[in-house]
Structure 1
Amino acid sequence: MKHIDLIIIGGGPIGIACGLEAKKNGINYLILEKGPIVNSLFNYPINMQFFSSSEKLEIDDIPFISKEAKPKRNEALEYYRRIVTSNDLNINLFEKVNEVKKEGDSFSITTEKEAYTASFVIVATGFYDIPNTIDVPGEELPKVSHYYKDPHFFAKQKLAVVGASNSAVDAALECYRKGAEVTMIVRGPEIGRRVKYWVRPDIENRINEGSIKAYYNTTIKEISKDSLVLDTPDGALSIENDYVLALTGYKPNFEFLRKIGIELSDDQKLYPQYNEETMETNIENLFLAGVICGGMDTHIWFIENSRIHAKTILNTISQKIHQ
């Protein structure tokens, strides 16, 4: 069994930032990532553009140069990949962590490939792995997806997009422009308030002109092979349908946190317990970093305001090591 001073679970931007800080502090560390480098960003839609400008996505003061002020997915992949390779970060890819146990003063970490012990652990696993389901009959059908990648697939198809957030709006607009017949199913009375300001007029104009059909204050009651049953303000309505993109958001792996022993709030927010000054959880020497700190409020923490977690945590760990 290998001993590593610090195990960082998650190889996204914040996990990478933690690795950089560990390296600068001379701490023996290992980043464990279940997929490729910045796995969540890799799984974003191909044409996605960030809300944040490039300088706000920078980590460790390493310049992020993009063609436009707000970079796109491929530019972010290039940026974070180069940071990992040029700094020769110690990262194991495609190695999923199955279990973390506190045993005395150290942790036992078991992955799909190896077993480790560590003095410190940082969990920086993000929130993109588990979709919020809509829990209706037919959701398990192959025509239904909770992830969107490329609009080409939906050309000449009757596509329902469930949701009104940035991801849903981007998918609706892109698929419409590639020839899909798009219908948006929106639970609330309007397009989401957090939709990117330069995109909102576009989606609203497409809806107003009838290019994209939108049902507000509406939910799906049932999904079948070639149709949907909607629950609208005017009653049940059946519409023809080929595919469903249920882009209703995602959530952290709370079960993983619970298994480790991290305490969560007993309300629907499921905020994990941690010290805001150190990012240390209720388990000594186990820290949280990044969006996972916000529980179900996944909009609270993102790259630009959680990149400071790396310095905070590594300063704390360094102080503990040198006590």
Structure 2
Amino acid sequence: MQIEEAIIIGAGPCGLAAAIELERIGLHPLVIEKRNIVHSISQYPTYMHFFSTPELLEIGDIPFTTANDKPSRLEALNYYRTAAQRHQIRVQAYEAITSITSENGAFILHGEDRFGQKSLYKSRYVVIATGYFDHPNELGIPGEQLNKVSHFFRESHPYVGMKVAIIGGSNSAIDAALELERVGAEVTVVYRGQDYSASIKPWVKPGFQSKVAKGSIRMLFQSTVIAIANNDITVRGPEGETRLPNDFVLALTGFHPDRNFLTSSGVSMEEEGYPTFQEDTMETNVQGIYLAGVVASRHEANEIFIESGRYHGRKIAEHILSKKDIAAT
């Protein structure tokens, strides 16, 4: 069994930021990541640019420089791996923590690597910074498991000349629709809202609306996809049900935390399905288990992702330090 002072589960930007803050108070945390460093960012659309300016994405007092107004995915990948290296953060990649149990005031973490090799860790403090993005909100409709359906969009090239339905109306859906239209895909956006989402980036919305007005992109409001088949989808809208020819479906319907993992660790859930924690300390109802990053976002996943979540580690470090001070008096 490997004994650690603190373990952080997840090597995203907020997990790395938390590791830096714990280092600053004298702990030497181990970060365990089931894939690669900042895996979620590596899964973003290849040519994506962030909504945020670079200074709002910085961690560990390391400047984030870019030649553009908004940093790209590639720049972010380089920045966060560089930040981890400069702060000498210990990251154990490609190992999943499958469960957490309590034992005599500490936690036992069960791990498993990609080859099935199991391991045990013991730690006084655990920070869960696992994010949402491995757990998409499923539609629960017939045909969702077909290989033509994806909850992620990487790049437009594979969809050249294809009939693509995008489910959702958020920024990710709008960005994907525009990229797909540029390469000649026949795009239909199916959105349950009555009008365009207020969250759409203001510099993107006019161009998208223009494409819709010209008929380059088909926009279906107050509509939902109720079934997916090999060659078509069934859409229910204000005028009833319609079958549309279709080659691919991008279900960009958002994500949720791994509730089973959290509850099995003892973390309770609020009525709406979000984990319980204290805003000022990030500690859950289980003493010694903390949340960091988007897993603590509740309804505000987009706003809290990096810009606010990067400060969660500071709250955690201050709380742990206060516990130590109390114990010393």
Classify the TM-score, shorter chain.
over 0.9
The question of whether the paired residues in 2 share the 8 Å contact of 1:156 and 1:181 is answered with yes
Letter in 2 for 1:190: D
Structure-1 residue corresponding to 2:116? none
Q: Given residue 9 of structure 1, which amino acid in structure 2 is its aligned partner? A: I
Distance (whole Å) between structure 2 residues aligned to residue 240 and residue 6 of structure 1: 53
Return the offset for 1:308.
1.4
The equivalent position to 1:304 in structure 2, one of 285, 307, 314, is 307
In the aligned structure 1, how far is the partner of 2:81 from the partner of 2:28? 21
Structure 1 residue matching 2:98: 3-state secondary structure:
strand
Please, which of 230, 239, 242 is the counterpart of residue 234 of structure 1? 239
Residues of 2 paired with 1:316 and 1:218: CA distance? 47
Q: How large is the RMSD of aligned CA atoms in angstroms? A: 1.2
1:133 is aligned to 2:138: yes
Q: Which residue of 2 aligns with 1:80?
A: 80
Correspondence 1:250 to 2:255: yes
1:29/1:81 Cα in 2 relative to 1: closer, same or farther (>3 Å)? same
Deviation at residue 182 of structure 1 after TM alignment = 0.7
CA drift at 1:274: 1.5
Which residue identity lines up with residue 147 of structure 2 in the other structure? P
1:66-100 residue CA offsets vs partner (Å, 9 max, x unmatched): 12121111111010011112222111011111011
Rounded Cα–Cα distance in structure 2 between residues aligned with 1:57 and 1:82: 13
1:149-197 deviations in Å (ceiling 9; x for gaps): 1100000101111111011111100011011111111111122110111
Query: Which runs of 5 or more structure 1 residues have no equivalent in the other structure?
Result: none
| Alignment partners' CA distance in 2, 1:221 and 1:305 | 36
* Percentage identity across paired residues of the two chains: 39
Q: Post-superposition shift, 1:51?
A: 1.1
Deviations 1:82-132 (A, max 9, x none): 111222211101111101111120000011042100010011111111111
Task: Give the AA of the match of 1:278.
Answer: T
Instruction: Quote the Cα distance in structure 1 between the aligned partners of 2:282 and 2:146.
Output: 41
- Of 116, 121, 125, the residue aligned with 1:120 is 125
Corresponding residue for 1:200? 205
Comparing 15-24 with 288-297, greater Cα deviation is found at 288-297
| The one of 289, 293, 308 aligned to 2:292 | 289
Q: 1:178 aligns with which of 174, 183, 187?
A: 183
| Deviation for aligned residue 1:297 | 4.4
Distance in 1 of aligned mates of 2:153 and 2:194: 24
Match of 1:13 in 2: 13
- Give the letter for the 1:17 counterpart: A
Select the residue among 307, 311, 316 that pairs with 1:313: 316
Change (3 A) 1:85 1:53: same
For residue 160 of structure 1, give the secondary structure of its aligned residue in structure 2.
Answer: strand
SS at match of 1:190: coil
* Displacement after TM superposition at 1:300 (Å): 4.9
Alpha-carbon offset, residue 298 of structure 1: 2.3
User: What TM-score do you get using the length of structure 2 for normalisation?
Assistant: 0.95
Distance in structure 1 (CA, Å) of the matches to 2:322 and 2:56: 28
**Worse-superposed segment, 305-314 or 29-38:** 305-314
1:39 maps to 39
Distance 2:107 2:147 in 1: 40
State how far apart, in whole Å, the 2-side matches of 1:11 and 1:90 are.
Answer: 10
2:167 to 162, 177, 182: 162
SS in 1 for 2:70: coil
Unaligned runs of 5+ in 2: 114-118
Q: State the TM-score, normalized to the length of structure 1.
A: 0.96
Equivalent residue number for residue 263 of structure 1: 268
Give, as a single letter, the amino acid of the residue that structure 1 aligns with 2:62: I
Tell me, in whole angstroms, the C-alpha distance in 2 between the residues paired with 1:29 and 1:147.
Answer: 31
